[in-house]
Chain A
Amino acid sequence: MATETYPRKVTYCGVCTLPPEYCEFGGTTKKCEEWLEQNHPDMHAKLYSQETIEQNLSALSLEAQKRAEKDSQKKAAKAVAAEARAQEQRASSKILIKRIERNKRKYVTAVQGLEAFGLDIKKVAKDFGKKFATGSSVTKIPGGGEEITVQGDLSDDIYDYVVETYKDIPEDNVECIEDKKKKAAG
Chain B
Amino acid sequence: MFKKDITPGAKTKVKSSAQRGIRTKILDTYPLLTPYIEDILPKKEQLDLIKLPDRVSLYTLGTTPLFFQHMDDALMPHLALVHRYPGCFARLRIDRGAIRFVLSGATLMTPGLTSAGGRLPGDPEDAEGRYGREDLEPGTVVVIEAEGKENACMVGVLKAGTAEMKKVKKGQACEAGHYLGDGLWALNLG
With a cutoff of 8 Å between Cβ atoms, the chain A residues found around residue B88 in the complex are: 6
Neighbouring A residues of B96 by C-beta, 8 Å: 56, 59-60
Are B148 and A56 closer than 8 Å at their CB atoms?
A: yes
Size category, B interface: 20 to 34
Once bound together, how far apart are the Cα atoms of A55 and B85, in whole Å?
Answer: 28
Q: Are A59 and B84 in contact (CB under 8 A)?
A: no
Mark B163-190 against chain A: 1 for CB-CB distance below 8 A, else 0. 0000000000000000011000110001
- B109-131 residues with Cβ-Cβ distance < 8 A to A are 117, 128, 130
Count contacts on A: residues with CB < 8 A to the other chain. Answer: 25
Q: How far is the CA of A41 from the CA of B71 in the complex (A)?
A: 44
- A71–B97 Cα gap in the complex (Å)? 12
Docked Cα-Cα span, A17 to B86, in Å, equals: 18
Closest-by-CB residue of B relative to A18 is B180
Is B45 on the interface with A (CB-CB < 8 A)? no
Inside 8 A of B85's CB, which chain A residues have their CB? 6-8
B142 within 8 Å of A (CB atoms): no
Q: Are B83 and A71 in contact (CB under 8 A)?
A: no
Closest to B188 in A: A120
Interface residues in chain B, defined as those with a beta carbon under 8 Å from any beta carbon in chain A? 36, 39, 80, 83-88, 95-97, 99-100, 103, 117, 128, 130, 147-151, 153, 180-181, 185-186, 190
Between-chain CB contacts (< 8 Å), 19 pairs: A1-B128, A1-B130, A4-B87, A6-B84, A6-B87, A7-B39, A7-B85, A10-B83, A17-B181, A18-B181, A21-B150, A22-B151, A22-B153, A25-B100, A26-B103, A26-B181, A55-B148, A59-B95, A60-B97
